[in-house]
Amino acid sequence: MAQLHPMKLTEVLAERGLSLESQANGEAPKEIQDREIKKEPTPRANYLRNIYFDTLSSLDVQESYWYTRAATEHEGEVPIMRRAYGLKSVFQHLDTPIWPHELLVGAKAGFYRGSAPLPWLTESFFMDKDSDLYKAALATGAESSAEVSHFGAGGGNVTKSFGNVVSVGGKYGVRREIVPAMHRLAYAWAGKSVEDVGRKYEQMVPEYKVKENIMKSVVSNFDSGFTIPQGREVMNYYYVLEYGFDGLIDFCEKRAGEVAGEAGGDGISGMDRLYYYKSMAELCRGLSAWFDNYGREADRLLSCTEDETSRAELSEISERMHRISHEKPMTFKDALQAIYLLHLAELNEDAMSGLSPGRIGQVLYPYFEQDIEAGRLTEAEAEEWNELYRVKMTCIDAFACTGVVGGVLSGNTFNNVCIGGLDREGKSAANRLEMLILEAGIKCQTTQPTLSLLYDEATPEEFLLKCMECVKTGAGYPAIMNNRIGMEFIQNQYQHEGMTVRESRAWSVGGCLETSPGTWMPLHHGGKLYWIPGGSGQPTSVGVHFLNNPKILELTLNNGFDRRTGLQVFEPHNRTFDTFDDLVDQYKKYYEKSVEVLNKCMNIQHDVWRKFTPSMVNSLLKPNCLERGLGIAQKGYRYNATFNIECCGMCNQINSFAAIKKLVYDDKKYTLDQLKDALDHNFGYKTSKEVGSESLKDQEKRDDDDGRYDEIHADCLRAPKYGNDEPYVDDMLYDWEQWFCEDMPHKFESLYAEPLYVCQMSVSTHGPEGAVTGATADGRLEGTTFADASMSAYPGTDTHGQYALFESATGWDHSMSQNSQMNLKIHPSATKGVEGSRKLLDLTRAYMRKGGFHIQYNIVDSRVLKKAQAHPENYRTLLIRVAGFTQYWVEIGKPIQDEVIARTEYESI
């Protein structure tokens, strides 16, 4: 007889003395506690931030129009010149809105919170679902991840069409009358886009059918060559700061004449130098016009404004924009304005996330220092301008498919500002301006730019405590990165390209936590020489995107067959797995096959990208392109070994390994067939699809369940779990890390013939990838969300405290990987006062000194999150840390919200 009220998983676990919402190191106070640190932004920043809160994510097609028009007019040009004319036209014609009370001006599109489709890159995903372009993408598996990705229904996300607004991709709004133009522009690139041409040639890979099956089953989250081919890297603003646009145009024109017809010892890339310099001159003219047009808009507004305060502000904007459209910046405000617009310029040339400004507190310090000394600037002004910068960066949206923006980014764009670290000579690089950047982050809490502390033992105590104060606001930043580990990884990965110890000190974080190489450049300002850091590498986290580790284990247990889709993803192995080592061996074979096939296809996609739409703004700004006369396509960047292999769900994979080994091979309590039967039947529970939720706490027993799987499910849940300093399971992690980081990736190379490396984080992929994965041997149920990050424990399973978790996490060398990720949730009562800040710093130091690479904190009472989930209309401004990024709670999909709520909450440190 069917149950009137099916038992939920939470009730079943409660009967076994288990919980999904664990408290550790004590109990939370009875009364809900808010975060301790609360400050208000300046009135100007608050006014502009409130506009953002009331603004929807909007699409603007003007960039698509002007680029397409210019590219068509220059159809027969050398490809890089055709692209230069297209981008020049875009920057010459983009709207240049200036909103009331702004001092820092600039917008990615014509809307306050806007983005633009780039159909020359990819055009299928934003078409109507019944269009031939969308159907073709769906047939290849390109949109499979989108089918299981979610946006939060609140905030600025346009999840549904309304009135005259059409929802695109479940996030962006576009006026209904614009849709035909958007589709017409998309069809203009049908068969010519990077997506279409790349897909044409990747089908020539012999195992292409395997690649399709991998995408359809979401073993991999999305293609990298035409979705977000740039990003996860660090900008370099040096050349514009040092020379200005007029100086760069003169330099490029002179060099074009010098290299014209000269092979330079290399008849391939040497001859390309002419086109590089000519294209960069055209790009600089477009960028100069764009800067100048903001001055023209200020002039227009000035002509119709009577308020004297507003007139003075507009006059200052006009003078600044007209000047820096030609000359190098001279003041702090000049320089901040210039680097902000350069940042937008790069974002406007490609679809991307994780384009990090880098260590701008050190880049801008020369201007800050001299302005303060000369009385041109006060610290209060500098702090306010950093607040305005935060609002501006938060308005940036990334336009890409739902599987990327929803399933990976949760709507975030990962513009990371790093603070601290070491200077060129090995001394602490923390400075007074960075203290003001922290203060701006405390007062004006926004999602962007996220902040990351490059923790080093040389960093002053006062600076570190200021970082802890900022963490205690609950905004989730700064995340803390181990500077020593980052330097060691950089030295190891780029040594063959000339990386030195001194150069490695210039590294920064590209995206949420991807280590990215940098370099020191000599800035001359006010008669003094400063060495400033900036990015010098190609985009990172491009290559093989987010392999689904638990899914590959599921396919291993099922002979390469995916029960959800009915696809034979991999060739059947037909092995019986007489030993646990046999199982792991086959798992690694399927894993390597995934990397092999995906890497070949991604190399083709990226090769088409670099031939058709190579980066130009970055190829202007990154060393050593200007010196060599070579852009990204010719390996003109100083460091090019940046392609990687990303993974998700490693904690569930390792915990599943431990359960299988203990229950089947060591204790022999169950056969492998019995375990597989329980997994195939989801331990007697409904599927997440039947329940209508991918969140663990919502799962229910089947109506006809007879309890036959209860015991095995309980044993799977009680099997050793990572995060408790248990060698039985931790040693499996260390063995895996050795193979994953050192033995496996170097078998493969990028399109630049450089060795791959691995990247370990989840971002938001633990939601959609969990949604397509059956029950796992660690006791997780079908379709539910994985553990976040890579070094974080599965919610509720880290029962022995933070330091036991640290022991588990640091038994391997973190410098073998581009990154690793640790998230902790701590109740606000545990960090109160100066003493609480010092305890938080001591906890951080303990992890760093044991060799952990990254740690980030959610300082929050979980009951606040539950209230916010039930009544989102009351929590528009609530920020939360997810997995490498901060986001407004209401803009996060429910599966990720539930996973954050379920994380172990530490009541004391």
- Residue 288 vs residues 248, 283, 599: alpha-carbon distances, Å: 11, 9, 39
On the question of a cis peptide bond just before residue 550, with omega within 30 degrees of 0, the verdict is no
Tracing tokens 């663990």 back to the chain, one arrives at: 696
What are the backbone dihedrals phi and psi of residue 166, each rounded to the nearest 5 degrees, phi first? Answer: -105, 130
Q: Which of 487, 514, 515 is nearest to 501 (CA)?
A: 487
In Å, how far are 176, 333, 341, 352, 852 from 457, measured between CA atoms?
56, 32, 35, 34, 14
Q: 153: which 2 tokens? A: 């229904």
Give residues with Cβ within 8 angstroms of 837, minimum separation 6.
Answer: 465, 468, 469, 472, 831
Residue 346 and residue 356 in contact, taking contact as beta carbons nearer than 8 Å:
no
By C-alpha distance, which of 324, 335, 251, 328 is closest to 293? 324
The one-letter code for the residue type at 242 is E
Q: What phi, psi does 661 have (nearest 5°)?
A: -60, -45
CA distances (Å), origin 757, targets 595, 711, 732, 816: 12, 41, 20, 8
The distance between the two most distant Cα atoms of the chain, rounded to a whole number of Å, is 87
From CA 615, how far away is CA 602, in angstroms rounded?
A: 17
Which parts of 233-331 fold into alpha helices (H)?
Answer: 238-259, 269-303, 308-324
With contact defined as beta carbons under 8 Å apart, do 383 and 418 qualify? no
User: Which of 474, 447, 415 is closest to 156 using CA atoms?
Assistant: 447
* DSSP code of residue 254: H
> How wide is the angle at C-alpha 18 spanned by C-alphas 12 and 24, nearest 5°?
150
> 237 — phi, psi (to 5°)?
-100, 5
φ, ψ dihedrals at 420, nearest 5°: 80, -145
Is the preceding omega at residue 640 within 30 degrees of 0, hence cis?
no
From the candidates 284, 444, 512, 741, give the one annotated as an active-site residue. Answer: 512
Would you call 514 a catalytic residue per the annotation? yes
Angle between helices 802-809 and 727-738 (to 10 degrees): 40
Torsion, Cα of 257, 260, 262, 263 (10° steps): 130
Catalytic residue among 514, 554, 737, 769: 514
Q: What is the 3-state secondary structure (H, E, C) of 673-732?
A: HHHHHHHHCHHHECCHHHHCCCCHHHCEECCCCCCCCHHHHHHHHHCCCCCCCCHHHHHH
User: How many angstroms separate the Cα of 570 from the Cα of each of 226, 573, 680?
Assistant: 25, 8, 19
Instruction: Determine whether 512 is an active site residue.
Output: yes
**What kind and span of H or E run contains 491?**
helix 483-494
Element (H, E) at 821: none
- 179 is written with which tokens? 């849709």
β pairing state of 514-516 and 518-525 = unpaired
Neighbour count for residue 100 (Cβ, 10 Å): 12
Q: Which two tokens stand for residue 404?
A: 């990327």
Q: Determine what percent of the chain falls in helix, strand and coil, rounding each to the nearest 5.
A: 50, 15, 40
Is 766:648 a contact under the CB 8 Å cutoff?
yes
Question: Closest Cα partner for 850 from 815, 798, 820, 811?
Answer: 811
Catalytic center residues? 512, 514
